Structure 1
Amino acid sequence: MAKLSKTNYYHNLRELNASAGNRRGSVPVNSPRKLIVASFLLITLLPVASLCLQPVQADPVSELSVQVTANVLRAGSNNTITMRVTGIGKLLANLDVSLTLPSPLVLFGDNHWRRSSFGPGETIDATLMIFAPASAAGNSYQATVNGLYKEAGETTYSQESHTVGLLVRGWTDLVIYDLLVTPSPAGPGLSVEISGSLLNRGITSAMFTNLTIKPQPPLIVSSQSVSYMGQVDANAPAPFSLTADIEPGTADGRYAVTLVVYYQDDLHMNQQVETSFFIDVSHAATQTQTTTRATGVVSSVLEYAQYLILLVIVVVVVLLVRRFRKRSSKNALQTRRTSMPPT
């Protein structure tokens, strides 16, 4: 057998592989069909590749922090709160902080605060006077705080915004006036009446209002010591009257009494207001009231007796008149018979 050289061996091997590939149906590298398939795949994958190559948009990093001392405003009043802006990021230049309030809230004073340089940890404390009209009661609003600045070493401005939530609340101010204690002084073992008027000096109604005498010596409270007044509107006086008993063994003197008003505000939260005053207790009042009651009974009896006597007199007069008329008629008849001639 003749020996093959290295060159002839590799040459024959390449030809053998090529022929075997053709027999299996393989496509040569430079065939038109493979070029078409590759172009189609390239066109299909190009949009996906472009999406994958786009840069990711990261959320901006805040350089400022905004805080307020209060988020609740009183309707119908001027409200003073403090806003603090703090640097929490990089060194900033030409900082301009502005505040914008939505209608109907009104800001008195400046709404811009500027710093040529503002570093981390530095603060701006702004005192804000905000007026909230009564019509805004029960509503919430969002104020906007904008920060415009350049980062140190940059030539373009950057901006960031913060929102501050504000709640406007109505308010109630219940007061009791024109208090009257009857009788005064009161006697031990007797009843005392406490009357007056309840006034709401606020701008929103007090709901489910209940007025009661606080149980404390020397008073003995009962169901008549409580008055349910329901809804008490603003600037609409509501009269009331409560009754309690004085403990029989109470010594003479002056004692504190407390009236408690329970109600719910505009957020349906339970509230209460207490009003204290004094009542005088005296045993002489008990005797006076007892004498007065006895005198009243006697007076009533005498009054009824007078009516009874008058009625008896009227009846007697009527009877006498009738009797006189009857006798006069009888005499007149006899006279007529006597004067007639005999037949």
Structure 2
Amino acid sequence: MRSLKVLLTLLTIFVLFTALSSTLAYGQQSSNFRVVKVFWGESESSKIQAAPGDENVILTIRLQYVDTSSYSKVLYLKGTLHLSQGFETPSGEGEAVAYYSSVVAGQTFDLQFTLNIDDSASIADHSMRLVIEGSGHMSPTTQELTVTVPLYGRVSFNVQVLNSSVKPGLSDIVLALKNEGSADASNVKVTISSSSVSLVGEDSSFDLGEIGSGDVKYIPLKIYAQPSTLPYTGVLTLSISYRDAYGVDRSDSLATSVYVEATPSPRLEASLTPSTLTPGKDNSVKLTIENVGEYELSSINAYLVVPQTSQLILRNSDGFWYIQSLKPGENFTTEFTIYAPPSSASLTCQLALTLNYMDEFNASHSETRYLGVKVEDAQQGLLKLSLSSYQLSPGQVNNLTLYVVNEGGNVEDITIMLTLPSGSYASPTSPLILIGWDGFLHIDKLEKGGFYSQKIMIYAHPDAAGNSYQMSFSLRYKDPTGFTRSETRVIGVKVLNAPKPAIECSFTPQRIFTGKSSNVSFTISNLGNEPLSSVEVEISLPKTATLTPIALLGEDNKLFIGTLKPSTSKTVNLSIYAHPDASGTTQELTLTIKYRDSTGADKRETRKVVLVLKGSVDIVLSEYSTYPREVTPGSDFSLTATLINLGTSPAYGVNITLEGEGFEPLISESVFVGDLPINTPTPFTMALKAPSSIKPGKYTLKFKISYRDNLHEEGEAYVHVPITVQGAVPATSKAKAGFAVAAALPAAILALAIWRRHVPR
């Protein structure tokens, strides 16, 4: 019994120890997780091609919990992925977190992380640290794994047609398939289809192998585009299968297009040369049919039909021609004979040419062209009239020659009557007058190619200048058949404009002084090439209600010049008086020129000439005085002189300057007086010093007067003031005199300033 108790006790302790060991082992394990697969996308069926620059892409890490204990289970699983350079979460963090509820031993599960991939991330495998945390039955569990994240880029195809515009019919085109992505594509296969154009060839599938990133594969195609009167677009669809850089087989579909030009209409041109036939003869003609279109035409049948009413007869041909083909730019030429009977003279008719043919697309066409022919008039003798000149000079007798040329068959008994245009009611004078001939001409005979000339003289009236007129010629003659024919011909002539004389008038000088008479030369010149006669000039002088600014002295206002030959001049001397009140003005003279030109026509012209009336400034010395009265060597004194302007214009801005050596100004070398009115005394004062070395006697002070006249032109005048220098005086008297001068000078200068300020200018 005791042994049984001991056995039971040992058994109990063993069971408890085993359970405790199992429990302790589970609570302390680090768990066994392994990476099964890493891919981009939410599931195996929706894998994506991750590439640098992608945002919000899902990275799936498939894990397996490999613990074999039936008690093993992890709850609240958390995976923290420590991102390598170039990867971050959408919020910009370097760690991405994913959760899973619970796993049991042997279970496979996915942790999915949403990431952004930087543009600069390298195309390679990136090693990242994955930390797995969870809760077991007894204690937490943690495990750290190394995960290899592939970043191989994306395949992106683009296709274009290198020759994207084609003509209807067969065309060779080349498709350029380019991998514009960042990853290489392998096992690339392309199948091309189209519903709008036809692919010509046995196979439309192409095995292109590998297309690296940035590489281009060229696919040559032959297509057939249906002809159309309007342009259209032919769409080509490419079905592409390939394996991407992640080893995933994928498919893609692209579309491109070709522009099919409108089918140009076939164009055949036909011509018949010559198109003029001679009656009574077999006329050799050439028919030319040319393909001026863009496509080859074939099976061309040409039918030429001559109307029965035309009386024309085809010879050496039945009017039918077969042409196998004509390429663009090629032509077909055939010669045959058309007989034109005499009765068909002067006939004009159209020959119908029917063309049946096939175009490049086996479409049939039928067209009818009309080729016009004209049969000459065999009985007509063609007389051509011409003049040696078709321009007439007005006012002169013009010598012309009339030419009669026979460009047809022989003609006889030719009469020609010339009729010139007559005057009208408004102008009864005939513009053209025949001189020395009545206008009737008779020619016995003119053979083919012969000519006849007749001298004629026509006077063109001066009033006809610048006009055009028609000279009418009535013809009557017998043609080679003896038939009398009547015709009228008209020849136009132009009467030239009469040469306009170039007349120039001038006055010299153009500036004259007011208040006195001035000698002025009037010159009139003929600068033209024609003489002028009976030249007369009438001068109209300006005048107002209160003033006659200028007047002619000793002449009336009409000047008879007489004859002016070309390039000559005549001068008439005139005396003109200008009124003083007109000083500083310009006066316009109107010249009316009458003359007779070289054609005998009386003409009248008007000219305008401007004269400038300039006032005169005449400044003279009226009176003068010195203070003190006696001037001695070395003494200071003031000179006061009075000026009067006796001219007809005020002097403006008058400035007086002492010139010469000896006497020196004490204050300033010049005195500004201002304006000098007419006939108004104007004084000025200048303080001077007599030289110490001067000897007693009489001296003259020279003053230069500068001013502007009423035309604001600068002028100068001079006045001379006599000064008497007395002998030396006793020192006492000299001192007193010096004191008196020194005392008087400021008072004199002050008085002069006050006087100048109150004197009106």
Q: Same fold (TM over 0.5)?
A: yes
Residues 131-158 of structure 1: CA deviation (Å, up to 9, x unaligned): 3223322222222223222223x23212
Aligned match of 2:508: 69
Residues 91 and 6 of structure 1: CA distance in aligned 2, closer, same or farther (over 3 Å) = same
Aligned match of 1:117: 563
Describe the SS at the equivalent of 2:581.
helix
Higher relative contact order (CA 8 A, sep 6+): 1
CA contact (8 A) 1:201 1:234 kept: yes
Equivalent position to 1:149, from 595, 602, 605: 595
Residues 100-143 of structure 1: CA deviation (Å, up to 9, x unaligned): 22224323312223355332354432222223223322222222
Equivalent position to 1:208, from 631, 653, 662: 653
Residues 188 and 12 of structure 1: CA distance in aligned 2, closer, same or farther (over 3 Å) = closer
Which whole-Å CA distance do the structure 1 matches of 2:533 and 2:738 have between them? Answer: 94
Equivalent position to 1:16, from 328, 334, 355: 355
**What does 1:1-343 align with in structure 2 at a 5 Å threshold?**
6-9=317-320, 14-16=353-355, 20=367, 61-89=500-528, 90-103=530-543, 104=548, 105-108=550-553, 109-152=555-598, 154-183=599-628, 185-217=630-662, 219-223=663-667, 226-285=670-729, 289-290=733-734, 293=737
Aligned match of 2:251: none
Residues 300-321 of structure 1: CA deviation (Å, up to 9, x unaligned): xxxxxxxxxxxxxxxxxxxxxx
Residues 209-266 of structure 1: CA deviation (Å, up to 9, x unaligned): 222333521x121225643221221122112222201122223333331122222222
Describe the SS at the equivalent of 1:135.
helix
Which whole-Å CA distance do the structure 2 matches of 1:230 and 1:295 have between them? Answer: 32
Which whole-Å CA distance do the structure 1 matches of 2:519 and 2:557 have between them? Answer: 14
CA contact (8 A) 2:623 2:643 kept: no
CA contact (8 A) 2:525 2:570 kept: yes
How far the C-alpha of 1:178 sits from its partner, in A, is 0.9
CA contact (8 A) 1:200 1:233 kept: yes
Describe the SS at the equivalent of 2:509.
coil
- Partner AA of 1:264 in structure 2: R
- Partner AA of 1:92 in structure 2: L
Residues 205 and 93 of structure 1: CA distance in aligned 2, closer, same or farther (over 3 Å) = closer
Instruction: Give unpaired runs (5+ residues) of structure 1.
Output: 27-54, 297-343
Describe the SS at the equivalent of 1:20.
strand
Residues 193 and 21 of structure 1: CA distance in aligned 2, closer, same or farther (over 3 Å) = farther
Residues 293 and 239 of structure 1: CA distance in aligned 2, closer, same or farther (over 3 Å) = closer
CA contact (8 A) 2:703 2:720 kept: yes
Which whole-Å CA distance do the structure 2 matches of 1:139 and 1:259 have between them? Answer: 31
Which whole-Å CA distance do the structure 1 matches of 2:738 and 2:595 have between them? Answer: 92
How far the C-alpha of 1:81 sits from its partner, in A, is 0.4
How far the C-alpha of 1:183 sits from its partner, in A, is 4.2
Residues 141 and 60 of structure 1: CA distance in aligned 2, closer, same or farther (over 3 Å) = farther
Residues 150 and 187 of structure 1: CA distance in aligned 2, closer, same or farther (over 3 Å) = same
How far the C-alpha of 1:288 sits from its partner, in A, is 8.0
- Partner AA of 1:9 in structure 2: F
Residues 158 and 185 of structure 1: CA distance in aligned 2, closer, same or farther (over 3 Å) = same
CA contact (8 A) 2:583 2:710 kept: no
Residues 21 and 99 of structure 1: CA distance in aligned 2, closer, same or farther (over 3 Å) = farther
Q: How much identity, in percent, do the aligned residues show? A: 20
Residues 201 and 151 of structure 1: CA distance in aligned 2, closer, same or farther (over 3 Å) = same
Aligned match of 1:299: none
Aligned match of 2:453: none
Which whole-Å CA distance do the structure 2 matches of 1:85 and 1:138 have between them? Answer: 27
Describe the SS at the equivalent of 1:290.
helix
How far the C-alpha of 1:83 sits from its partner, in A, is 0.4
How far the C-alpha of 1:194 sits from its partner, in A, is 1.4
Describe the SS at the equivalent of 2:367.
helix
Q: Which structure's residues are more often strand, by fraction?
A: 2
Which whole-Å CA distance do the structure 2 matches of 1:223 and 1:137 have between them? Answer: 37
Residues 35-82 of structure 1: CA deviation (Å, up to 9, x unaligned): xxxxxxxxxxxxxxxxxxxx9x99973343323211112223323201
Residues 216 and 147 of structure 1: CA distance in aligned 2, closer, same or farther (over 3 Å) = same
- Partner AA of 2:680 in structure 1: A
Which whole-Å CA distance do the structure 1 matches of 2:696 and 2:503 have between them? Answer: 70
Which whole-Å CA distance do the structure 1 matches of 2:594 and 2:582 have between them? Answer: 31
Residues 293 and 257 of structure 1: CA distance in aligned 2, closer, same or farther (over 3 Å) = closer
Residues 72 and 193 of structure 1: CA distance in aligned 2, closer, same or farther (over 3 Å) = same
Instruction: Give unpaired runs (5+ residues) of structure 2.
Output: 1-302, 304-315, 322-349, 357-364, 371-493, 741-761
Residues 237 and 150 of structure 1: CA distance in aligned 2, closer, same or farther (over 3 Å) = same
Residues 294 and 122 of structure 1: CA distance in aligned 2, closer, same or farther (over 3 Å) = closer
- Partner AA of 1:93 in structure 2: S
- Partner AA of 1:8 in structure 2: G
Describe the SS at the equivalent of 1:267.
coil
Q: Which structure's residues are more often helix, by fraction?
A: 1
Which whole-Å CA distance do the structure 2 matches of 1:80 and 1:110 have between them? Answer: 15
Residues 295 and 143 of structure 1: CA distance in aligned 2, closer, same or farther (over 3 Å) = closer
Residues 100 and 7 of structure 1: CA distance in aligned 2, closer, same or farther (over 3 Å) = farther
How far the C-alpha of 1:7 sits from its partner, in A, is 4.5
Which whole-Å CA distance do the structure 2 matches of 1:136 and 1:294 have between them? Answer: 52
Residues 14 and 117 of structure 1: CA distance in aligned 2, closer, same or farther (over 3 Å) = same
Describe the SS at the equivalent of 1:15.
strand
- Partner AA of 2:578 in structure 1: A
How far the C-alpha of 1:186 sits from its partner, in A, is 1.8
Number of aligned residues:
259
Residues 12 and 237 of structure 1: CA distance in aligned 2, closer, same or farther (over 3 Å) = closer
Which whole-Å CA distance do the structure 2 matches of 1:188 and 1:112 have between them? Answer: 68
Residues 150 and 184 of structure 1: CA distance in aligned 2, closer, same or farther (over 3 Å) = same
- Partner AA of 2:581 in structure 1: S
Which whole-Å CA distance do the structure 1 matches of 2:566 and 2:351 have between them? Answer: 78
CA contact (8 A) 1:258 1:275 kept: yes
CA contact (8 A) 2:501 2:526 kept: no
Which whole-Å CA distance do the structure 2 matches of 1:115 and 1:212 have between them? Answer: 52
CA contact (8 A) 1:186 1:286 kept: no
Which whole-Å CA distance do the structure 2 matches of 1:93 and 1:295 have between them? Answer: 85
CA contact (8 A) 2:655 2:673 kept: yes
- Partner AA of 1:102 in structure 2: P
